[in-house]
Amino acid sequence: MGTLPFTVALVLLLMRCAAVCLAIPKSNFTDESALLAFKKYITHDPSKSITSNWSAVTPFCHWLGVTCSARHQRVAALDLSNLDLKGTIPPHVGNLSFLVSFDLSTNSLHGNIPSELSKLQRLKSLNLSNNLLTGTIPVSLYNVTSLENLYLENNRLQGILTEQISNLSSLKKLALGSNMFSGTVPLAIFNMTSLQAVSIPLNNLSGSLQEKICNHQSKLQWLDISQNQLSGEIRSDFYNCKELEIIALDTNSFTGTIPREFGNCTKLKSLYLGGNNLKGEIPREILSPANLELLSLEFNTLRGSLPREIGLSPSLRTLYMDRINLTGTIPKEIGNCSLLEEIYLGNNSLTGTIPHEISNLHNLRVLRLGLNNMVGTIPSEIFNFTTMNMIELTRNHFSGHLPSSMGLMLPNLQEVYLSGNNLSGPIPDTICNASQLVQLILSNNSFSGFIPDCLGNLSNLQYLDFEYNVLMSRHSPSGLSFISSLTNCRTLLSLWIGKNPLHGSLPISIGNLSSSLQSFTAHNCNIQGRIPDEIGNLNNLFELNLKGNELVGAIPSTIGQLRQLQALTLAQNKLEGYIPQEICDLERLAFLYLEGNGLVGSIPDCFGNLKSIRSLILASNRFSGSIPSTLWGLQDILQVDLSSNSLNGSLPLEIRNLVVMTAMDISRNQISGAIPNSIGDLQDLVNLSLSGNRLQGIIPASFGKMVSLELLDLSGNNLSGEIPMSMQNLTHLRYFNVCFNQLHGEIPNEGPFANFSIQSFLGNNEFCGAARLQVPPCKGRNSRSSKAPGMIVLRYILPAITSTLFLLVLIVIILRCRRRNAKRQAQEDLPSLATWKRISRRELELATDGFQESNLLGTGSFGSVYKGTLPDGLNIAVKVFNLQHEAAFTSFDTECEVLRNLRHRNLVTIISSCSNLDFKALVLKFMPNLTLEKWLYSDNHCLDIVQRLNIMRDVAAALEYLHYGYIKPVVHCDLKPTNVLLDEHMVAHLSDFGIAKLLGEGDSMTQTMTLATIGYMAPEYGSEGSVSIRGDVYSFGILLMETYTRKKPTDEMFAGGMSLKTWVKQSLPNAVIEVADANLLTQEEEFVRNSDCVTSILELALECSANSPEERKDMKQVLAALEKIKKELTNRIHNRNRH
């Protein structure tokens, strides 16, 4: 009886095993087929990891990256990460039904995420990060309830994150950063009780942060929604998230104050709130979490001082508080944070001294206190921290001496920035023991004594700046001894020692300096002797400045070997002899300054080969002979000064070739002959001086065409005839001098001549004109008129003219009435401008103190802009149009039309207008940070790489709206830094629509006679007058280049074949450091990151500024590209801050 059940059980077990054995091959075949299908979809496998390894001759469980389950021999894990694979993910992977872990991260896979992944109901971990995937997250993927880890960051995914994500009930880690997701953060995420980490930075998420997100989040440890477009106040109950260790809300648009409830997150380690619009004081409570290691509040508009409670944060390691308007002093309690490694408190308004308690911070690596108002001495203990990597204290008011032991205890120090203080005393020789130093910047202080001769011990040194001090060199028969020492610094890039009383000669060892040296400035240093021939060995030098010394002898011909040289300044020395012909070999030379020497001979004919030259300054020498004819062929030269020499000959007709010339001075020479009529073609010329020569003949009437002239000096010649009345059209003329010639006749009295006195006309023959000029009145020009012709005019001609004029006036009135009716009808559909204020001219005069010059913000082509304050306290900018300029009426009407109808966050806001017969003004929102131009070129301001990117993104958004967001495209036509205004939050607003064009329906292009700004103007605009939205794209490309190179397109360095665009193009992709603004590439840890970003931006700029309009991107594409670049940059910043 007992054996029967056992037998039955045994039979059943054997049948079960047989069934399983029969089933395994079929299942195995399914997995193998899915893997082979995956292989077929791979188009690039550089390491042959799949194409060679995955073969049917080998069991698939042994294939690379494949892990099978021991029991069923089914694929349980597939890891093909970091193989640089290209291709797509096939739907067949959905057949790997036993898959638990799937990792394809860090490849170059593209295409969509297959919806078939939803069939993997055993899947716990899916990692597709760091690829090129597009499309949306398949909704079906949210049905894989077993999923615990979902990593999709750093792709190109888009769409809205739906509430269905909460179906992933087992999810622990969600990483969706660096994509293009939009919409709001779904509240459902915060109902998922299993979540431990949520990371969605670098997307386009918007809206406000929901309240009570921590009600169900008992396990949440990491929350990162930084670098999105979230707004509103931070009101959430983070204190209920008891396990939170990292909160990252930085680089959004959050407003309001910092919630003090953050202090209740007892396990908090890192709090990132930087790059928002937060206000108020720093709540002391946020410093109370005992585990807090990192606090990031930089780039907000906070107020108040650094709380003393910072001393209650024993675990604090990193403090980011740059540019948050901090005032007061640094509390001494900071010395209690014994683990502090990085302190960033730069660009605030801190006062007082550096507390000596900082000497307790023995782990300090970075101390950044630059751009504050701090005083006192620098504690010597700072220079004894063996961990110190960077000391940055620029532009404060620190005084005292550097400690004599500086450098002895700094084995890791790489960067020292102490410029712009009141430091004095010697530079200690012990600095040479800091063997890792890369940058030593001590300029603009009062250091004295000798420059250490041991600087050559700093073998890693790249940047040395001692300019504007009182330093000397030790006496040596061979010359400046410290230069010989520096020959051991083989990576030296820049050596700046100008404005120091060095008192010595240049040693021949200067030729042994680093072959990488790019910039050498030693101006105003009392250097004597000759320029060594060996200087020609510095074959990568692009700037050489020896101005204002006591150099003698000839210019060495070896300078012609410096083929990379762009700027050569040897002015104000005692150089003699001829200009060596070899200088003409410097094909990249843009600036040549040789004035104030004793050079002789003729100007070399070969100067015509310097196609890149922009400024040629040879004044105050002893040059003779005629001006070489080749000089008139330099069509891109901007500035020529040949004054105070002994040049002779005449001015040729070919002078008309210098069409972009802005300044020419040939005064005090022996030039003779007539002024050619062709000089009138120089319509960009601003300053022209031909005084003190032997010119004869008349003043050409073509001078009236030189519309840019501001200064004209023709004094001290033998000119005759009358002053042309056409010169009354030179509206910008501010200085005019024709004294001591042989001119006669009527002195013009209109236009700029209304402002000139008799001092401009002395020493001539018989002038006549207005009584204020103290000359006789002019007699009637036609005294021979008779009565008979007058009667004919009165009787026959005058009535005919009167009738014609009456008819024309009647037609104009009818047309205007029709236009007004049509305009009124069109405006009925426009939104009412209820927000406009009615403001009278009198109110504007009161608001601006009578348009006083102290309130003048700037002057443009058609008017001036003043700052004002209305009685209700509202700050305004008042743009007053100059109605003496005929085009101002059109400009006012155009700007009213554009600003009244358009509304966008990045366009300047109009408050009101004021218009009558003799006064027209626009009342605009005041922008406290003024213009991008100011921030780019002011010594007191510096935009970091993120700020520049945000500003350019704002401008791109404004243009995208103008081109595509209104009922008809609007072309701005005049994009440049002065027309980009910055509000209190550094948000950019596009302004000045005075020459904008509205394209009609169906129009893609129109014609114009209104010129935009030279340098930013698209080629088709200037040559054909063709205006289209693609012209704005070109201007935006130039603006991008200028913003990241800090070089204007009209900068003096650009000439000949060299322009801003070609200069940038030649630097890409491997030499971006040569063109990028040096302020962006100063920090070593940021160098690679920032240079990669600048490279991407400049490549985009070149695509925007293609010569052919059809080859340019549109602003939708440009905006998307900038968003992507921004995400990549902030992701790298984000990752660096996490470590």
pLDDT tens figures, 697-750: 999 999 999 998 999 999 999 999 999 999 999 999 999 999 999 999 999 999
The whole-number average pLDDT for the span 659-664 is 90
974 is catalytic: yes
Q: What is the pTM of this model?
A: 0.68
User: Higher pLDDT residue, 550 or 915?
Assistant: 550
Which of the two residues, 265 and 997, has the higher pLDDT score?
A: 265
DSSP 715-727: -SSEEEE---GGG
Within 828-905, where are the H helices? 841-847, 887-901
Selected residue with higher pLDDT from 969 and 19: 969
Contact 704, 727 (CB under 8 A): yes
Provide the 10 A C-beta neighbour count for residue 732.
12
Q: Domain 929-1139: which topology?
A: Transferase(Phosphotransferase); domain 1 (1.10.510)
pLDDT above 70 (res 866): yes
- Range with the largest mean pLDDT of 186-195, 649-658, 776-785: 649-658
CB atoms within 10 A of CB 983: 17
Q: What is the pLDDT of residue 705?
A: 93
CATH architecture observed for domain 451-601: Alpha-Beta Horseshoe (3.80)
- Give the closest residue to 930 by CA, choosing from 874, 976, 989, 888: 989
Does residue 108 carry a pLDDT above 50? yes
Asked whether residue 796 carries a pLDDT value surpassing 50, the answer given is no
Higher-confidence position of 877 and 817 = 877
pLDDT at res. 308: 94
Residues of the chain with CATH 3.80.10.10: 451-601, 612-773
Residue 1127, annotated ligand binder?
no
Which residue would you say has higher pLDDT here, 762 or 903?
Answer: 762
Measured between its terminal Cα atoms, the distance across the chain in Å is: 73
What's the pLDDT score for residue 897? 61
Confidence check: pLDDT of 28 > 80: no
* Residues 507-512, mean pLDDT to the nearest whole number: 95
At residue 356 the predicted structure's pLDDT band, cuts being 50, 70 and 90, is very high
What's at 96, amino acid-wise? Answer: L
Quote the mean pLDDT of the chain.
Answer: 85
Percent of the chain whose pLDDT exceeds 70: 86
Average pLDDT (74-84) is: 95
Span 1117-1135, mean pLDDT? 82
How far is 519 from 681, CA to CA, in rounded Å? 38
Bridge partner residues of 368 (DSSP): 344, 392
User: What's the 3-state SS for 124-166?
Assistant: CEEECCCCEECCCCCHHHHHCCCCCEEECCCCCCEEECCHHHH
Q: Is the pLDDT of residue 609 over 70?
A: yes
pLDDT for position 355: 96
**Mean pLDDT for the stretch of residues 597-604:** 96
pLDDT, position 780: 65
> From CA 203, how far away is CA 113, in angstroms rounded?
18
Give the confidence band of 558 by pLDDT, cuts at 50, 70, 90: very high
Q: Is 978 in contact with 1074 (CB distance < 8 Å)?
A: no
Interval 1072-1109: pLDDT, tens: 877 888 777 665 556 667 778 888 999 999 999 988 88
In this structure, what are the phi and psi dihedrals at residue 1114, rounded to the nearest 5 degrees?
-95, 170
Q: Which pLDDT value is given to residue 862?
A: 67
Catalytic residue among 974, 992, 1032, 1051: 974
Residues contacting residue 333 through CB under 8 Å, at least 6 positions apart: 308, 309, 310, 311, 312, 357
The more confidently predicted of residues 912 and 199 is: 199
Asked which of 120-134, 268-282, 819-833 is least confident by mean pLDDT, the reply is 819-833
- Comparing 195-199, 376-380, 462-466, 858-862, the range with the smallest average pLDDT is 858-862
Partners of 529 in the beta sheet? 551
Q: Looking at residues 840-863, what average pLDDT do you find?
A: 76
The three-state DSSP-derived secondary structure of 980-1042 is: EEECCCCCEEECCCCCCEECCCCCCCEECCCCCCCCCCCHHHHHHCEECHHHHHHHHHHHHHH
Q: Helix crossing, 1115-1138 with 945-964: angle to 10°? A: 150
- May I ask the CATH class of domain 612-773? alpha beta
Averaged over 766-773, what is the pLDDT?
90
**Residue of 612, 608, 566, 610 lying closest to 1057 (CA atoms):** 612
Q: What stretch(es) of the chain map to CATH 3.30.200.20?
A: 834-926
What residues does CATH 1.10.510.10 cover in the chain?
A: 929-1139
Cβ contact 762:736 at 8 Å:
no
Find, among 1055, 1067, 1056, the residue nearest to 1102 by Cα.
1067
DSSP one-letter string for 586-638: -TT--EEE--SSEEEEPPPGGGGG-TT--EEE--SSEEEEEPPGGGGG-TT--
State the fold for domain 834-926: Phosphorylase Kinase; domain 1 (3.30.200)
Least confident of 61-75, 422-436, 567-581, 814-828: 814-828
Task: Give the residue, 242 or 828, on which the prediction is more confident.
Answer: 242
Omega before residue 452 within 30° of 0, cis = no
What are the residues facing 569 on neighbouring strands? Answer: 545, 593
Q: Among 378-392, 988-1002, 1014-1028, whose mean pLDDT is lowest?
A: 988-1002
Q: Where are the alpha helices (DSSP H) in 204-290?
A: none
Integer Cα distance of 991 and 973 in angstroms:
11
C-alpha to C-alpha distance for 154 and 128, rounded to whole angstroms = 9
